[in-house]
Amino acid sequence: MPQVTLHLLNAHGKLTSHCEWLHTALTQTYALANQVMPLPSVDVVVKAGAYVIPEKGHLGYCPEPGLVYVTVNPEHPALFKNEDHSLERMFAHELHHAARWAGPGYGATLGEVVVSEGLAGHFALELFKGQPEPWESLSADVLQPSMRQLSENWDRADYDHNRWFFGTGDLPRWLGYTAGFNLVSDYLAAAPHQRASTLAATEAEAFRKFI
């Protein structure tokens, strides 16, 4: 039976007063996600650190099958406010990546990664409702000028991830996340019987026509 195993890195005691909350939030999210989408067993490495999403106080990363890294900043005021189940939503996002790793993979090309991120964002909404994350909510006037470029670079494996997703070059910050979220939104509008949880193994090419 699939299970989640938490590994809290706490040699310096920075997580001591938060261990119970972190354990409860992450294990309950895994259980909830596994009810609607088959999950693989996952090792989750949790550590304290300052390299987090500035707006959130935490960061998730799923670099390979069966492994998720979670970084939390105990000094960040947004972390423990945890508005709209922010930590749980982030972990749900990473769990969709874990499920996708068990199928077609996270992706190597720009198009594949854009779709994986869009599906993961919709999965967090599927579980916890609420509103899309800030990085999934760029306006159309910000997004549209780059859509032709996305189409032209869809199959490229040498794309610059930081440029497309984190705004380190000439593209707006979070462009890839919003583009992926919108692609999946349009796919779901055309196929309302589907959900992010049922699309974890769907190839990215199925979403391309919605650019």
> Given a cut of 90, is residue 4 above it in pLDDT?
yes
- pTM of the predicted model, to two decimals? 0.97
How many helices, marked H, and strands, marked E, lie in the chain?
8, 4
The C-alpha atoms of residue 91 and residue 107 are separated, in whole angstroms, by 19
Q: Which domain covers residue 178, as residue numbers?
A: 110-210
pLDDT of residue 1: 83
User: pLDDT tens across 133-167, in order?
Assistant: 999 999 999 999 999 999 999 999 999 999 999 99
Mean pLDDT of 99-111: 97
User: pLDDT tens across 11-30, in order?
Assistant: 999 999 999 999 999 999 99
Domain total of the chain: 2
Shared domain for 126 and 197, answered yes or no, is yes
Shared domain for 95 and 116, answered yes or no, is no
Closest to 125 in 3D by CA, of 181, 208, 73: 181
Shared domain for 51 and 86, answered yes or no, is yes
